[in-house]
Amino acid sequence: MIKEELTRHEVVPDPNPWLEDKIQSGTVKIYSDRDIVTELGKIYGTSATNMYLTLLQTSCDTFNTGFFEKYYGSMSNIDNLEDVEKFLSVLKACDDGVPSQNGLGEKKTYVLIQMMEILHSNRVYVFCSDDFRARQSIASLTKPVHCISILGVFCKLMKMGHDKSEMQEYYNRLSAFLKNQTEYRVWSASGYQRIRVPIQQVFDDLYDGKFQMLRNGDLQYIK
Q: Is residue 7 part of a domain?
A: no
**Rounded-to-integer distance, Cα 87 and Cα 92, Å:** 9
Do 117 and 153 belong together in one domain?
no
156 shares a domain with 115 = no
Do 94 and 156 lie in a common domain?
Answer: no
Shared-domain flag, residues 171 and 205? yes
Whole-model pTM?
0.77
The pLDDT, as a whole number, for residue 109 is: 87
Residues 81 and 162 in one domain: no
The reply to whether 107 and 167 lie within a common domain is no
Q: Are residues 116 and 37 in the same domain?
A: yes
Tell me the residue range of the domain where 76 lies.
31-122
Residue 87 resides in a domain: yes
Does residue 132 lie in a domain region? no
Write out the H or E segment, with its range, that includes residue 154.
helix 150-159
Tens of pLDDT along the chain (223 residues)? Answer: 677 766 766 767 787 888 889 999 999 999 999 999 999 999 999 999 999 999 999 989 888 889 999 999 999 888 888 899 999 999 999 999 999 888 888 889 889 989 998 988 777 888 876 666 666 666 666 666 778 888 889 999 999 999 999 999 999 988 888 778 889 999 999 989 999 999 999 999 999 999 999 888 889 999 7
Residue 163 is assigned to a structural domain of this protein: yes
pLDDT of 129: 63
Q: Does the residue 189 lie in any domain?
A: yes
Query: In this predicted structure, what is the pLDDT of residue 2?
Result: 73
Same domain for 155 and 107, yes or no, is no
Residues 23, 178: Cα–Cα separation, whole Å: 26
pLDDT at residue 216, rounded to an integer: 81
Residue 1 lies in a domain: no
Domain count along the chain: 2
Statement to judge: residues 158 and 114 lie in one domain = no
Confirm whether 6 is domain-assigned: no
Residues 159, 101, single domain; the answer is no
Each residue of 147-169: pLDDT tens digit?
Answer: 888 888 999 999 999 999 999 99
**Within-domain flag for 15:** no
For residue 191, the Cα-to-chain-centroid distance in whole angstroms is: 24
CA distance 157 to 172: 15
Clarify whether residues 61 and 111 are in a common domain: yes
Instruction: Tell me how far the alpha carbon of residue 37 is from its chain's centroid.
Output: 19
Cβ neighbours for 72, distance < 8 A, ≥ 6 positions apart: 53, 56, 57, 60, 91, 94
Instruction: Using alpha carbons, list the distances in angstroms from residue 128 to 85, 160, 170, 208.
Output: 32, 20, 18, 25
pLDDT at 133: 64
Pair 165, 110 in one domain:
no
3-class secondary structure, 39: helix
